[in-house]
Structure 1
Amino acid sequence: MRHRFWSAAAALVLTPVLASSAVAGGRALSCYEQATVPAVYRTVHQKVLVQPASSYVVQKPAVYGYQKRRVLVQPERVSYRTSPAVYQTRQSRVLVQPASVGWEYRVIKGRKILCKVQNPAVYKTVSQQVLVQPASKVAVRQPAIYSTVNEKVLVQPASSYRVQKPAVYTTVSRQVLVQPAQQVWKPVRVRGCRY
């Protein structure tokens, strides 16, 4: 768009400037200078066949191997064992008589005196059997017994298949001229020239 503007401006202005160049001291309204617009190129990528598609058949023989197999020799068995109850002797302090306050007569220096007396609490130690663990029936498990044997097995049967090889391409890049170089007139700002 700018190139078109410069070309149009050059076409409109060039003739008056040349016609009035002989007149000295005239006031310039706008000024232009010639410039070169470089050529414009574009990179084009082109796909080129290097090797065409092809195919071939591959034969695969059967594959055998030895596999370990687990064989049961004796199945699992479960038996039961009786566990007796477990007791423990524990001692505890039991209150026999709580603390109390009472009155009693006492003879002090030959005189019979009524006194208020504090009686302490009376405790005794008692032993008793405590059940810690009740009797139970415990299962005793005897695991199964296995043995390992080797046997020949078919791992993969014989087969054949076709391998497809796709075509091989490469990309070639080249420069294409979109617009050649041009000579255009473009406006300039100089002293004494109003633009």
Structure 2
Amino acid sequence: MRHRFWSALAVLAFSPFFVSSVSAGGRALSCYEQATVPPVYRTVQERVLVQAASNYVVKQPAVYSYQTRRVLVQPERVSYRASPAVYQTQYRKVQVQPASIGWEYRVIKGRNILCKVKHPAVYRSVGQQVLVQPASRVAVRQPAVYSHVKEKVLVQPATRQVVQNPAVYRTVSRQVLVQPSRTVWRPVRIRGCRY
């Protein structure tokens, strides 16, 4: 009902047939003047992004160590050495002349006497080389030769890890317009006007 009143009042104010009380010469029953109603704001809480989500990579280098290892420098070898034959001189008694009986003259008391004489056998010592050990090949073993070397070994491989940083938000307050400013007609109490 009140809305209709103000609408009717606005129509009359801007109507070409609307005349003031002065020009009409009548008595004013009520008076109104235009007034500006300020805008209405409301404070709202709003979540805003301060820092966007991001990620970065953390790299860990590989870890190495040194260890001593036994390595073969020269394998075992077998060579053969010739061993000459071994001889020994053995002596044996050899008959050079057998025993015999013969006739020979002897001078006995100034007289030539023919005597029958027995001659013993004649022997001689003769040396002879005899084989004690034949020629052969002797195996000569040379043991393997080893050495120790230091080598670099991997203890832990390199790693790569992605670390994520979540987005950061903040709650801020801001004012929003609920109703804009407007112009209205409001009653006035002045002398000469009834309200």
TM bucket (normalised to shorter chain) is 0.3 to 0.5
Give the alignment's TM-score, normalised by structure 1: 0.34
Give the alignment's TM-score, normalised by structure 2: 0.34
